[in-house]
Amino acid sequence: MDRLLRAVSTKTAKTTAIYYVSNFGLNVLRYFFHLILMKFFAPNIYGEFLSYLSLQYLLGIPLGTIGTIVTKTVSDYHGKKDDHSINAFFYYILRITIPLAATIGAVLILFASSLAGLFKASPAAFIVLGISMVVSLFSTVVASYVSAFQKFIFQTVVGFIGLISSLVLAIVFIRLGFGATGAVIAQMLSSVLVVLITLLNIKPFIFPVFTKIKKLSLDLKSLTGYSLFYTIGTLSLVSTDILTVRFLLSPTESGLYSALSIMGRMILFGLTPIIGLVLPIASHRHFSQGSAKTVFFKLGAVITLFGLIGSLLFSLAPTFFIKTLSGSAYIPAAPFLPLFAFSMFFFALSQFIVTYLLAVGRPKATLLLIIASLSQPLSFFLFGVSLSHIIVVNFAIHSILLLSLIFTYLHFQRTD
């Protein structure tokens, strides 16, 4: 008992607890943002907005890869107290990635009309998404620096500022008649605000620019490849399904699936703050002490407990939660909420295991994410003749992925 009390009273434990509770509140507000939109929009219009958001996730795959690289690399530099490389890497990563972000943005703008026809949406929103790509790049890099420095409380505060500003602006633009496009504009403007605040926080590490830049010793080839696999897998599994359903089913069914997705993501996003701790903490611990097993077991136990509680709550009263949180228009989706909740719980566990293995130098597990992300839309096309079939297929994919990753972790443990 004394050992347990000492463990939970350490500075790291207290900071982690504050970070989690704060981020749980942040994710409640994030859901409140979607709740407001569902109250303003009919299911078909809300399905349109979540399609924009899902496409944004897919377009963010290169940015997510960059974020993983920055967090891992800067965490290593920070562990070695190499401030010179921390400064140099900031400008190096921007120099090689800004052309990529600008190219993706230009393609979005040029093909806005075609994309609008494909996803039954408005061309204006795709133009806004294109403009926001460079902003998203800066947001990814500066946020990854803050994560690498383990400034978790600051991350939470900035997250609250960004979400509240996004919510207020979205309401204003929707009232002005911009519809789903207004919500997209609000997200872009709030991202600009967050970038400016975060830059001020990391200013001592990136300014002034060092005039004598030493050669950076980075193994970017292997790190980039596996980081790309990680990002493709994690983002595709929460976005490709939305776009595929939007294409296969009616706008109303798409809206019902989108509501289920947001409800399920309450569990996933509730656990994401803990998963976000894994890469910087486990990487730092593995580099400095040679082992990060305690990080795996402690954080894994918390994720399992909280995820199980959330999934069981949704399973016990699905109609109540759908009606109360989403509105009466979404009640037809209630019977499917338990399966979707457990799908997101299983995905959170999968994401946790992959992140840990990536942090301790076992990145090949990311290949399982790639297989799952490719199987999901293919299975939907083959077996997704109705909303119920798609939800069952989705549950099966996440179950198989989790079991595969558990066996992979146990295999690596035996070979260490």
pLDDT in tens, the chain (416 residues): 444 445 445 555 555 566 666 666 666 677 677 777 777 777 777 777 888 878 877 777 778 778 878 887 898 888 788 888 899 899 989 988 899 899 989 998 999 888 888 777 788 888 888 899 989 999 999 999 998 888 878 888 898 899 889 989 988 988 888 888 888 899 899 999 999 999 999 999 888 876 555 555 555 555 566 777 887 888 888 888 988 888 888 888 888 898 898 888 888 877 887 887 787 778 767 666 666 788 888 888 989 999 999 999 999 999 998 888 777 888 999 999 999 999 999 999 999 999 888 878 788 888 899 999 999 999 999 887 789 999 999 999 999 999 999 999 888 877 66
Q: What is the C-alpha to C-alpha distance for residues 274 and 93, in angstroms, rounded to an integer?
A: 26
Amino acid 7: pLDDT: 46
What count of other Cβ atoms lies within 10 Å of the Cβ of residue 377? 18
Amino acid 191: pLDDT: 92
Amino acid 24: pLDDT: 63
Amino acid 348: pLDDT: 94
Amino acid 63: pLDDT: 82
Amino acid 4: pLDDT: 41
Please answer whether residues 330 and 322 qualify as being in contact, where contact means their C-beta atoms are separated by less than 8 angstroms: yes
Q: What is the C-alpha to C-alpha distance for residues 173 and 101, in angstroms, rounded to an integer?
A: 26
User: With helix as H, strand as E and coil as C, how does 302-344 read?
Assistant: HHHHHHHHHHHHHHHCHHHHHHHHHCHHHHHHHHHHHHHHHHH
What count of other Cβ atoms lies within 10 Å of the Cβ of residue 17? 12
Q: What is the C-alpha to C-alpha distance for residues 397 and 8, in angstroms, rounded to an integer?
A: 36
Please answer whether residues 352 and 360 qualify as being in contact, where contact means their C-beta atoms are separated by less than 8 angstroms: no
Please answer whether residues 359 and 283 qualify as being in contact, where contact means their C-beta atoms are separated by less than 8 angstroms: yes
Amino acid 308: pLDDT: 94
What count of other Cβ atoms lies within 10 Å of the Cβ of residue 177? 8
Torsion of CA 342, 348, 350, 354, to 10 degrees: 180
For the chain, helix (H) and strand (E) counts, in that order, are 18, 0
Q: What is the C-alpha to C-alpha distance for residues 203 and 197, in angstroms, rounded to an integer?
A: 10
CA distances from 332 to 268, 328, 337, 390 (A): 22, 9, 10, 15
Amino acid 283: pLDDT: 75
Among residues 161, 225, 235, 248, which one has the least CA distance to residue 198? 161
Amino acid 416: pLDDT: 62
Q: From its phi and psi, is residue 216 left (phi > 0), alpha (psi between -120 and 50) or beta?
A: beta
- The residue extents of the domains of the chain are 2-415
Q: How is residue 387 written in tokens? A: 């909303």
pTM: 0.68
Residue 312 neighbours by CB under 8 Å, 6+ apart: none
Degrees, nearest 5: CA angle 157-161-165: 170
State the alpha helices, DSSP H only, in 41-151.
43-59, 61-79, 83-110, 112-118, 123-131, 133-148
Q: What is the C-alpha to C-alpha distance for residues 131 and 119, in angstroms, rounded to an integer?
A: 19
